[in-house]
Structure 1
Amino acid sequence: MTVLMRARSRDEAHRAATPLELFFDLCFVVAIAQAGRQLVHDLAQGHPGHGIAGYLMLFFTVWWAWVNFSWFSSAYDTDDVPYRVVALVQIAGVLVLAAGIPRAFTAGDFRVVWFGYLVMRLAMVTQWLRAAHGSRGAERRAALRYAAGVTVCQIGWLALLFLPAGDIPWVFVVMGLLELSVPALAERERRTSWHPHHIAERYGLFTIIVLGETVSAATVAVQSALDEHKAPGVLLPVAAGGLLLVFAAYWIYFAVPIHLHLHSNRQAFLWGYGHYLVLGSAAAVGAGIEVAVEESVGTAQLSAFAAAACVTVPGALYIATVWLIHSRHQKRGPAQQLVLPVSAVLVLACTFAGHGAVPAAGLVAAATVAVGVTLTARQGTALAEEQPPRSADPRPRA
């Protein structure tokens, strides 16, 4: 049944992610996995500049399309037939984009990537035009600005097909900034009615899926290396350290209820945009573990220090960014505030441990969780002790 697309209430009770949104996330992670696989290849072959630049660009296209759909669905999810069909078209677009990632990495050919992104973004324009049709006044104007802004940006992305390969990174920087500016321009008059709890859950679930892909990629790498090289004594410390790092990444992210912080667009935009680094570094940790596995069995063309940095740098970036945009808003006192920044520095310092870097980083991350849990428990005990004792009998005594 087709209905007018009207904004949902920001105060709607029991708002949760839908099965369609979870399916959407899982399909988008396919493209992230493709970008991570290409990053592993470039890093292991000693081409970090090319690999990192390509990864950052292609990760942006996947992440930004996901972000736009997630915030739109938080405000306008009607879950009717047209809404579902357009969402499935976006899924088809990201799968096309994923198929073009290897060619974009190896040959600088962005035609398939561009077409997949175009499919996703034109589907998003369709959603915004439908929202405009069901709205009035400032809300209608905001929806039309979104549709116009996304459309104009797609024209700019055409430069990928005609400019020399050396200019492509600059195209991504300019067009990325223009894309990021569209929500701020569209909502300058009226904020869309995104739901704080729902959007926090959406980001949290996508973070879990990305971390799951990290575990999956690392597991396959360790299994392949064991089958080919029969070196458990070398590989198991890397696997254990990587697993500890990913477990800690999960724990750190979900230690605070972030929806309590998301009140305005200013707070939400900074938090939402900052997840480019959170999610990008989380996926890169998996790529780094794969590189560390290849280096440990002698199949990678880079030093032990460089292989260690492939894990510790994204690991430290993840911890630091989660603290900066996510966790610090719920921390109390200097001790709690310093735990994650100090941990990020220590994880980065593990780079100098060479072949022991990944296990060392995993132990630092595990210790970070232990310290955080202890400080939180102590704070809870202190707050409880500050409360006045309650009488068992509430009646006034003579």
Structure 2
Amino acid sequence: MSEDSPPGRPPPGLLRRMTERGRGEEHRAATPLELFFDLCFVVAVAQAGRQLVHSLAEGHPGHGIPGYLMMFFAIWWAWVNFTWFSSAYDTDDVLYRVVTLVQIAGVLILAAGIPRAFNDSNFSVVWFGYLVMRLALVSQWLRAAHASHGAERRTALRYATGVCGCQIGWLGVLLLPDHAKPWVFLLMAIVEMAVPALAELGRPTAWHPHHIAERYGLFTIIVLGETVAAATVAIQSAGDEQEALGTLLPIAGGGLLLIFAAYWIYFAVPVHRHLVSNRQAFLWGYGHYLVFGSAAAIGAGLEVAVEETTGKAHISAFAASACVTVPAALFMFSVWLIHSRHHKRGLAQQSVLPFAAVAVLACTFAGGTAVLLVGLVGAVTVALGVTLSAGRQEAGDGGANGRSGGNGRGSEPS
């Protein structure tokens, strides 16, 4: 498809020279293929969330949380690899589409291997899924290198070399003893994240700020959508079996308010204007590991809260509440830290999300009403943000009108 192609760009064909698209390209938007790619990641996110729910509900957070962090990193990093490459080099020709579909197949293999990796520390299927994705990604980088020259070519070759080296390094999670695998995973995660920084030292790739911001926003929506789906299924199942709607309604209402608030908080600022350099973009993009991971964990926490309320979980009400409040607080704080604080002005605006995160954590002690209270905190946080932003905009409009006879532009809302 070519809806996002700039004027004068030829329609998709069998093969097109893989040159950079450029950061200044107008009307750049996510393509249907990218949306399909994101949608397939929902399967992997759901698998990781399901394993986290089982571990937390059985009272094994020491196993469940590290396992979830590892599996979600694998999911998130595979998505990051594709997203930033496609922002710079999406040719939308037949070969590009076929290679992307191969990457999607690798994602589905990865998803199928998550339960085995989570429960038995058997990463063979996950590693093979990564191998499929990585071979496809390396072929794309080599194709970009073939079509370029000079510093651009060296950057593409460094990416291809780094990705290949990392895939070999991941053999450690297959060959080493179980007690060493988490440390190998941590080491390889650090090495993986170093590859883009090192590859782009000489010449950055031409990723598109607006396109990247949109892609991250769309994946946020998909993760929040998975959270809604997981919580809905849990409440439906519990209601069908136990007829406990009276105790489940506060969880349903609070959970829905929380998810609505999470959406509003994330999309309150035009963040693409902050992505003006590789350093800023990398810090922002890497920080989304916390944003995406906590957003998905909220859904798992809501499922655990439902199971505890209906007597299926082997944990206390306090622990079940923490399964919701901790990821919700982490989401609010991480969104403020890497995303929205760049567009906040003044102590009042800057304080809203950090204080909201603390208030959410305090709700852990509320027992059965914790989820409802968290949802209310989220709603109040959004209301405060809107009020403060509107006040700043009115002040800006008034000052501008006073200076320019009513024709000035006010401050941009945040």
Q: What TM-score, normalized to structure 1?
A: 0.97
Measured against aligned partners, the alpha-carbon deviations of 1:143-171 in whole angstroms (never above 9, x if no partner) come to 00000000000111011111111111101
Q: How has the CA–CA distance of structure 1 residues 161 and 388 changed in structure 2, closer, same or farther, with 3 Å as cutoff?
A: closer
Q: Is the Cα–Cα contact under 8 Å of residues 173 and 184 in structure 2 kept in the other structure?
A: yes
Hey, what's the Cα distance between the residues in 1 that align with 2:405 and 2:372?
52
1:252 aligns with 2:271: no
Identity, % of aligned positions: 73
Give the aligned residue type for 1:297.
T
1:312 aligns with 2:341: no
Aligned counterparts, 1:375-394, within 5 A? 375-389=388-402
1:40 aligns with 2:53: yes
Hey, what's the Cα distance between the residues in 1 that align with 2:177 and 2:373?
43
1:171 aligns with 2:195: no
Aligned residue number for residue 362 of structure 2: 349
Unpaired runs of at least 5, structure 1:
394-398
Q: Is the Cα–Cα contact under 8 Å of residues 400 and 406 in structure 2 kept in the other structure?
A: no
RMSD (CA atoms): 1.1
SS in 2 for 1:387: helix
- Please state how far the C-alpha of 1:392 moved relative to its aligned partner: 9.1
Aligned residue number for residue 145 of structure 2: 132
| Equivalent of 1:329 in 334, 342, 364 | 342
1:98 aligns with 2:111: yes
- Please state how far the C-alpha of 1:320 moved relative to its aligned partner: 0.1
Hey, what's the Cα distance between the residues in 2 that align with 1:249 and 1:225?
25
| Equivalent of 1:117 in 109, 126, 130 | 130
- Please state how far the C-alpha of 1:55 moved relative to its aligned partner: 0.5
- Please state how far the C-alpha of 1:230 moved relative to its aligned partner: 0.2
Measured against aligned partners, the alpha-carbon deviations of 1:34-54 in whole angstroms (never above 9, x if no partner) come to 000000000000101101111
Give the aligned residue type for 2:132.
V
Give the aligned residue type for 1:214.
T
Hey, what's the Cα distance between the residues in 1 that align with 2:97 and 2:62?
40
Q: How has the CA–CA distance of structure 1 residues 241 and 134 changed in structure 2, closer, same or farther, with 3 Å as cutoff?
A: same
Q: Is the Cα–Cα contact under 8 Å of residues 30 and 211 in structure 2 kept in the other structure?
A: yes
Hey, what's the Cα distance between the residues in 1 that align with 2:142 and 2:42?
27
Measured against aligned partners, the alpha-carbon deviations of 1:64-112 in whole angstroms (never above 9, x if no partner) come to 0100110000000000011101110010001001011111112221111
Unpaired runs of at least 5, structure 2:
1-13, 408-414
- What number of residue pairs does the alignment pair up? 393
> Which is further off, 154-163 or 186-195?
154-163
| Equivalent of 1:338 in 327, 337, 351 | 351
Aligned residue number for residue 66 of structure 2: 53
Hey, what's the Cα distance between the residues in 1 that align with 2:24 and 2:187?
37
Give the aligned residue type for 1:325.
I
> Which is further off, 377-386 or 211-220?
377-386
Hey, what's the Cα distance between the residues in 1 that align with 2:80 and 2:119?
27
Aligned residue number for residue 374 of structure 1: 387
Aligned residue number for residue 242 of structure 2: 229
Aligned counterparts, 1:135-174, within 5 A? 135-174=148-187
Hey, what's the Cα distance between the residues in 1 that align with 2:389 and 2:172?
51
Q: What TM-score, normalized to structure 2?
A: 0.94
- Please state how far the C-alpha of 1:391 moved relative to its aligned partner: 5.8
Hey, what's the Cα distance between the residues in 2 that align with 1:348 and 1:189?
44
Aligned residue number for residue 68 of structure 1: 81
4+ runs of 1 displaced by more than 4 Å? 389-393
1:292 aligns with 2:308: no
Aligned residue number for residue 19 of structure 1: 32
1:215 aligns with 2:228: yes
1:272 aligns with 2:268: no
Measured against aligned partners, the alpha-carbon deviations of 1:205-248 in whole angstroms (never above 9, x if no partner) come to 00000000000000000000000100111001001111111110
Aligned residue number for residue 8 of structure 2: none
Hey, what's the Cα distance between the residues in 2 that align with 1:142 and 1:380?
43
